[in-house]
Amino acid sequence: MDTAFFTRGTVGVACAIAASFAFAQTPAASPAPDKNLGRNLAANCANCHGTNGKSVAEVPSLNGVPAALTIQKMKDYRDGKLPATIMHQLAKGYTDAQIEAIANYFAKQPK
C-alpha cells in the first residue's frame, strides 16, 4: 500500500532533481540532495512528537506509522480538511516531497 505510494513519490523527486541538475548552469542551482533528508526534517517534528517520533506525552507518536497515513494527514492538515490547533500551520511549511521523506523516515522507526 504505502510502499507503492512512496516509491512513486521517490521516483518523482529523483526525476525533479535530475532535471534540475541537467539544466544547472549557475551556483544558485538546486543543491545536491541530502542523503539524510527524511531524518533531518523529521527532527523538526521531535520537539512535540518525541525523538524519532516516540512521544512521551499526550501528543501522538509517529514512529512506526505507515508512511501513507502520515502523508495523508499532513496533506489534510495543509488543505484544511483536518481540524487542528497548530498542525495546519506547520504542515504548510513543507512540500509534498519533504512530507514524503519525513513520513517514510517515521515509518521505519521501531515502535
Partner 1 sequence: MTVINQTRRDLVKGASALGLVGLSAFAGGCATIGGNAKPKVVVVGGGFGGATAAKYIAMWSEGKIDVTLVERGDAFVSCPISNLVVGGSRQLADVTIGYGGLEKYGIRRVKGEATGFDPAKKTLALADGTSLPYDRLILSPGIDFMYETLPGLATGEAKSRVLAAWKAGPETVALRNQLTAMKDGGVYAIHIPKAPYRCPPGPYERACQVAWYFQQAKPKSKVLILDANEDVVSKKGLFTKAWNGQYKGLIEYRNNQEITDVDARTLSLKMSFGDDVKADVLNVLPPMRAGNIATANGLNNSNKRWCQVDWLTYESTAVPGVHILGDALQIAPAMPKSGHMANQHGKVCAAAIVELLTGGTVSQTPMVANTCYSFIDDKNVVHVASVHRYDPAQKTMVTVQGSGGLSAEQNALEGVYANSWARNIWADMLT
Which residues would be at the binding site for partner 1 (CB under 8 A)? 28, 31-32, 34-37, 39-41, 43-51, 55-59, 85-86, 89-90, 92-94, 98
SS3 14: helix
Of residues 54 and 69, the one with the C-beta less far from partner 1: 54
Q: Please, what is the minimum distance in Å from the beta carbon of residue 1 to partner 1?
A: 28
- Whether 87 contacts 81, CB under 8 Å: no
All cell numbers assigned to 45 = 517534528
Q: Please, what is the minimum distance in Å from the beta carbon of residue 73 to partner 1?
A: 16
- Measured over the CA atoms of residue 15, residue 36, residue 7 and residue 59, the dihedral's sign is negative
Of residues 69 and 87, the one with the C-beta less far from partner 1: 87
Of residues 3 and 89, the one with the C-beta less far from partner 1: 89
Question: DSSP letter string over 66-100?
Answer: -HHHHHHHHHHHHTT-S--SSHHHHHTTS-HHHHH
Of residues 55 and 72, the one with the C-beta less far from partner 1: 55
Q: Please, what is the minimum distance in Å from the beta carbon of residue 107 to partner 1?
A: 19
